[in-house]
Amino acid sequence: MKHVIIGTGPAGVLAAETLRKVDPDSGITLIGDEPGVPYSRMAIPYYLQDRIGEEGTHLRTTDDHYKSLKIDLIRARVMKVNPGKNEITLDNGKTIGYDRLLVATGSRAYREEVLEKTGSPRVHACWTLEDARHIAKLAGAGEEVLLVGAGFVACIIMSALARRGAKVTSIVRGQQMVRSMMNPTASAMVKRWWEKEGIRVLTGTTIADAKCDAAGKLEVTFNSGNRMKPNLAVVATGVQPNIEFLEGSGIATDGGILVDEYLRTSIPNIYAAGDVAQGYDFSTGEQSVHIIQPTAVDHGRAAALNMAGRTCKFQGSLLMNVLDTMGLISGSFGRWQGIDGGDSAELIDEDNFRYINLQFDEDRLIGALTLGHTENIGVIRGLIQTKVSLGPWKQKLVEDPSQFMKAYLGSTQAIGHNAGVM
């Protein structure tokens, strides 16, 4: 059996290693278009804070890791997939045949057109290790940095830049930051925390104009008419899936590559995993794209098992984001927005930046938001993923949402030992 994997991020690497474990005699080719060895984007913020060197971002640390597993690691860009011939075409013109193919090509950052048009080397995304190298040079202590966007990844980058000592101005088009993982209450608390930590946050702000002055310095004009001359502008306004090379292949796509519970695309011997895949969401039962590493890793493993012929039905990934912005830890889990007809409970401590919001479907926890809580928050994930019936613990949580650990112990012990006896 010949397995070919496109993409050397966490999804692709995990898939290759899993295949080697369960299919020892197969041929495995892993193809990626980025220079250097496979690395984790998640480690970039630590690199930017000088907490690790470049090698700390590498997914595997031994030099001969891939060779020792007989994984043929190729650096090339895949330009075309031809399912009729079961082959792919590389940018060097070569073709490679496969029996089973995995597409794990991830996503890439959106560009900001007005900034981009300046052609300035002071404008960067923060998505690849190469981006991070440029940023590290330009975002020194005391330097003015403009951060465009305020989503999950933007906030991670913002913390890293601020911890380097850069003076960060964060602009966001709407009124709310981290909208994809927070309600307005939590988001307002986060904004207040950042401002307390010295970040300038401009909501309702877009870039009206940008140019390079004679000295090559960037000058940005906002829609308010205010100007700024940052040493660096970092664009983090979201991502799009890397699927263009699949055009004409017949592989069905929507917001990403559509996959079934076996991570299989619309073409039976082609699978997809990670950021590029629109797979089943544990909470909604619908297909959605999750831009998080745990989903990439789960997908990669499940796809590989299926490619090797071990039927592995994927239960769906749980959307879970845990964010550390300047020491304030926030988390969103599952259906944190709640559902029609569901109940909710909320505990707000504005002075101490602590917040819990729980969402229920009847007596099951289906989603949660937390701020300023670090202890036992894994339990929230457990309660959601096990779909445990909370029984009387639901009312106790409505009265005091901070009791989730006790609710977990009470309701799961009831399942294990004393089911029905409360």
Find the shortest distance in angstroms from Cβ 152 to ligand FAD.
7
Find the shortest distance in angstroms from Cβ 203 to ligand FAD.
22
Closer by beta carbon to ligand FAD, 135 or else 365: 135
Cβ atoms of 271 and 303 closer than 8 Å:
yes
Closer by beta carbon to ligand FAD, 278 or else 411: 278
Which residues bind to ligand FAD, rule: CB under 6 A?
6-12, 31-34, 41-42, 44-45, 77-78, 104-106, 126-127, 153, 156-157, 242, 245, 274-275, 291-294, 296
Give the separation between CA 47 and CA 126, rounded to whole angstroms.
12
Helix (H) or strand (E) holding 45: helix 44-48
Give the separation between CA 297 and CA 137, rounded to whole angstroms.
31
Find the shortest distance in angstroms from Cβ 89 to ligand FAD.
10
Closer by beta carbon to ligand FAD, 377 or else 397: 377
DSSP state of 1: -
Classify burial at 419, counting beta carbons within 10 Å of its beta carbon; exposed 0-12, middle 13-18, buried 19 or more.
exposed
Cβ atoms of 81 and 270 closer than 8 Å:
yes
Closer by beta carbon to ligand FAD, 238 or else 382: 238
Q: Which two tokens stand for residue 316?
A: 């769906």
Find the shortest distance in angstroms from Cβ 143 to ligand FAD.
19
Give the separation between CA 245 and CA 61, rounded to whole angstroms.
30
Q: Which two tokens stand for residue 240?
A: 């799009």
Closer by beta carbon to ligand FAD, 78 or else 388: 78
Q: Helix axis angle, 293-307 relative to 10-22, nearest 10°?
A: 30
Helix (H) or strand (E) holding 365: strand 364-371
Residue with tokens 């969401």: 281
Closer by beta carbon to ligand FAD, 23 or else 298: 298
Q: What is the CA radius of gyration of the chain?
A: 23
Find the shortest distance in angstroms from Cβ 397 to ligand FAD.
27
